[in-house]
Amino acid sequence: MDLGGSRQQTALAVLLLDVGRAVSIGRLMEAVYGDEPPTTARAQIQICISGLRRLFAAHGRPDLISTQAQAYVVRVRDDELDGHRFERLAREARRLRKEGQVAEAVTRYREALALWRGPALEGIQSRLVQAAASRLDEDRIAANEDCVDLELDLGRHHELVGELSALVEEHPLRERLRGQLMLALYRSGRQAEALQAYRRARQTMIEELGIEPNERLQQLEHAILTSAPSLDLPEAPPAAAPAALKVVPRLLPTDIADFTGRTKQIDEILERLVAVAGERPGYAVPIVALVGKPGIGKSTIAVHVSHRVAEHYPDGQLFADLHGGAARPVSPAHVLERFLRALGVTGTAVPDGLEERAEMYRALLADRRMLIVLDDVGMESQVLPLLPGGSGSAVILSSRGRLAALPGAVHVDVDVFDSAQSLDLLSRIAGAERVHSEPEATVALAELCGQLPLALRIAGARLSARPHWSVGQLVERLEDETRRLDELKHGDMGIRASISLTYESVGEEARRLFRRLAILDAPIFSSWISAALLDRPLHEGQDLLDDLADAQLIETSGTGRGPHTQYRFHDLIRVFARERLAAEEPAAERTAALARVLGGLLSLVEAARRREHEDRMIIPASIATWSLPDALVERMVEVPHAWFERERSNLVSGISQAAQAGFTEICWGLAMGAASFFQSRVYLDDWRETQRIALDAARQAGDVAGHAVMLYSTGALASAEQRFDDARRDFDAAITLFTKIGDERGLGSVMANRGHLDLVTGRIEDAAAHFERALELSRRAGPPSTTVYVLQNLAQVRLARDDIEHAKRLLSEAMAHVGSGVGRRLQGQVLNRLGQVHLQEGELRLAVEVLGEALAAVQEVGDPTGEAYILHGMGLARLRLGEFAEAGGTLRHALLLANTSSERLAKGRTLAALAELALAEGRPEEAVDSCDEALALFGTMNVPLEEADTLSVLSDAHAALGQPADAYETLARALDVTAKIDTLVAQRMRARYAERMRLMRRACPSEPGE
């Protein structure tokens, strides 16, 4: 039949896809016109339907399409629709396969596949139609794969190679097809081609997806390489015992119709249970334990996979819910009584004692292949009496904790869904059209459910039960955390009830810790926090954390061990914990616990900084702290930057919580302690936010010392971001406050930073004055680190004045302090400055050597910004040694680090050095480009020294290009820039530029502009 144009084809496709159900005009409009239907769309749809009715009436089917309220319905017999015929035949094939009628199952599969003449609904461009077509095509290829599996078992590998090769070409990313082709080739005696098929599969997966083939495909390759016996054709299974001789129990609950995802876990279980089903006499019974938190879907997976493997255990399946999370779990004696009766033992023959029942149970299962499914196991003692004695049977169990003492059990961890699986489950329960109509709200709903399958199932059921609700409406209800668990309840299903069972199953101290962990805002928390929350030794807190982790109330995060172990809550379990916290913990105890945690965090921050800088932070001794034993603290902060990295989330949230709780001194103490870490690791957003919070807290509390410290810290942040005017303002305000309260230590630190700011912006004489004052204060009251910092910066002032000998003496004094125990980061800065001295003096090999030592020091503490500055110096030294290739590699690495760190000053300096390199290698055009980019950066920062030097290089580039007028004009600009620099340094620069301009005029006597 000629169906007419694309609109009529699309409309008919949508009606047939929902055959027997009303399809609204709105849905037809969306299918035909997408998201922007014309104003005439409704009328056009009605015209389409009228055209289709006339067409079918002419072929004797006038009633094919009927009208309902604002909708249309197509009604056909099942055998008239290819889709229905395909589903029926595939369903029959699966039934025959379960009954062991393999050849008959293949015949049905082939009949089903013969209905296809190409991709489903090919040529129809509608988004809605193509989505449905994709599902039909997926069903087709899945049926083809199932059919091939059976034909491989029947030994038809020779006939399958050609078909499988074509299928792999059509579906290159389907690993199951790849594996079937490899097996067919191997069984056909084509081992080399089978291995080549794997190599092509691996290349395709890496190129297309960036991942290796799955584990099953890798194991198949290894089996082919070793000619493993498991690849040979399976022998025909032994005939089953007459049904009259045995009772075959079928106790499995109904499979889940809308089962979603879990492919990896199911494959792992199938591989374990199908491979060993009755084929490993003499080995222990195979046990698979599904482990996960409440509501994660363990029972659903257990039931679903049990139906998948049931055909491999023809003597029956037993099922029991042990209620392990309940206050009174089901006893193994009670379960054995049920199992024995299911196996045909009459009431009077069931023994009374547990041991006798277990012995009879094992005897009955000794020569059978049975599947035993035990749901919600609480402890090993519930399971042990229920294990069969022979390896022909298998056990699947689910538990909220790992059953480590269960011999031979393979544990399969079950985690939350990913976003795609969550949306798929919601679509299956609430309806695909409803979910697809509100994509953003659906994503938000999945996130509020924490991607937890039980929560998603409840949310989907609530939407299904309330068709007048929008998805967004349910999202709004769930956004209120205090009511979220109330909303996630439908009928007998409830998140609170599920978590509560587990909560009640752990001890009182573990419950107390569980509640108090909810005090923290950090998404991840370290094990030491348990000791602070309970005010107990760390080993006791860790034991309780392990109890909570075993019960799946918390979970480990990352790879840390011992005191570095970290944990986290699932979002919905955190909500439950906060409910218990509010209901069961007095406010005073909550406040005290939070104070201990924040005080403990501050003491650890101070220890980490002390290990890095070998001196104490500028915070008053009056701040209340809580601390672990000294030896343990030193072990925890042994590598300071690694400790800071682990505790970063705790630091950021701790500063905010301290401000909210009114712990002002702890708040600004933490912010000040974290600042150097945020700076060295370039976490500028964290640095900016925490400084703002702490500064506001100190101001509002009238804490002058805290206010001064935070102004000093925000000035350092502004300086690091090259916001020099803001930095100068904050430093000056901090100087005023430190002077007012008589804090010479704090004043010395600010003076040192103020001097560095002057140095960078070309105020050399002001820098010298500030550094001299800072040196006086630090020698009297400040920490050694400030003294070293000031000495190496004073050396830079001397270098700017060409006073190299004085600079060396200052650095020698700084190195003496370094030798007495200043941290590696500051040591790297001093060595970098010493390398600059050697560079300026022309001792280039020595400069490279010293800068290499500096580089090792900053790399050890994880300081990419410092690394960029040191590499810049090394690149210049190698350039001036004539090692152009090495210089280029070093400078490009420096540029990469400067970009990564958003360090504009280092980037500008490196670009200027790259311009020098381009000139030296005869590439003046590239030199011009690099200079222009550097000057654009320097122009936004007010750094005249750098700007003038770069203009000088640009002038050389113009001269090399044969542009004397541009070279002269650029040098004149450099001369103008020197007016922004202090007199002593500027005089020397101006004299140098003026002499070069005089030589230019002699070489080119005409006017520069001509």
pLDDT at 240: 36
Q: Sign of the C-alpha dihedral, residues 968, 972, 977, 980? A: positive
CB neighbour burial string for 35-53, b if at least 16 within 10 angstroms, e if fewer: eebeeebeebbeebbebbb
Mean pLDDT, to the nearest integer, of 42-58? Answer: 87
Residue of 416, 467, 466, 419 whose CA lies nearest to 443: 419
Give the pair of three-digit tokens for residue 506.
């752990």
Task: Render pLDDT for 152-194 as a digit per residue (tens, 0 to 9).
Answer: 988 889 889 888 998 999 899 889 999 999 999 999 889 989 9
Asked whether the beta carbons of 285 and 388 are under 8 A apart, the reply is: yes
Whether 339 has a pLDDT exceeding 50, the answer reads yes
Following DSSP, what letter does each residue of 445-511 receive, concatenated?
A: HHHHTTT-HHHHHHHHHHHHH-TTS-HHHHHHHHT-GGGHHHHSEETTEEHHHHHHHHHHHS-HHHH
Can you tell me the distance from the alpha carbon of 713 to that of 734, in angstroms, rounded to the nearest whole number?
9
Following DSSP, what letter does each residue of 683-731 receive, concatenated?
A: -HHHHHHHHHHHHHHHHHHT-HHHHHHHHHHHHHHHHHTT-HHHHHHHH
Percentage of the chain lying above the pLDDT 70 cut: 93
State the chain's mean pLDDT as an integer.
85
Cα distance from N-terminal residue to C-terminal residue, the chain: 83
Residue 878: pLDDT band (50, 70, 90) is very high
Asked whether the beta carbons of 294 and 496 are under 8 A apart, the reply is: no
Lowest mean pLDDT across 396-405, 629-638, 907-916? 396-405
CB neighbour burial string for 739-754, b if at least 16 within 10 angstroms, e if fewer: eeeebbbbbbbbbbbb
Cβ neighbours, 10 Å, residue 764 = 21
Whether 429 has a pLDDT exceeding 90, the answer reads no
pLDDT at 531: 92
Q: What is the radius of gyration, based on Cα positions, of the chain?
A: 38
Higher pLDDT pick, 782 / 768: 768
Residues 6+ apart with CB under 8 A from 400: 291, 292, 293, 294, 298, 324, 325, 376, 378, 502, 551, 552
Following DSSP, what letter does each residue of 775-821 receive, concatenated?
A: HHHHHHTS-HHHHHHHHHHHHHHHHHTT-HHHHHHHHHHHHHHHHTT
Whether 421 has a pLDDT exceeding 90, the answer reads no
Can you tell me the distance from the alpha carbon of 317 to that of 240, in angstroms, rounded to the nearest whole number?
15
Cα angle 887, 888, 894; round to 5: 90
Mean pLDDT, to the nearest integer, of 438-466? Answer: 86
Give the pair of three-digit tokens for residue 272.
């374990």
Can you tell me the distance from the alpha carbon of 588 to that of 1009, in angstroms, rounded to the nearest whole number?
80
Residue 276: pLDDT band (50, 70, 90) is low
Asked whether the beta carbons of 735 and 753 are under 8 A apart, the reply is: no
Whether 1003 has a pLDDT exceeding 70, the answer reads no
What are the distances in angstroms from CA 923 to CA 822, 892, 914?
44, 16, 11
Whether 239 has a pLDDT exceeding 60, the answer reads no
What are the distances in angstroms from CA 867 to CA 112, 818, 861, 895?
66, 19, 10, 10
pLDDT at 55: 87
Q: Model pTM?
A: 0.58
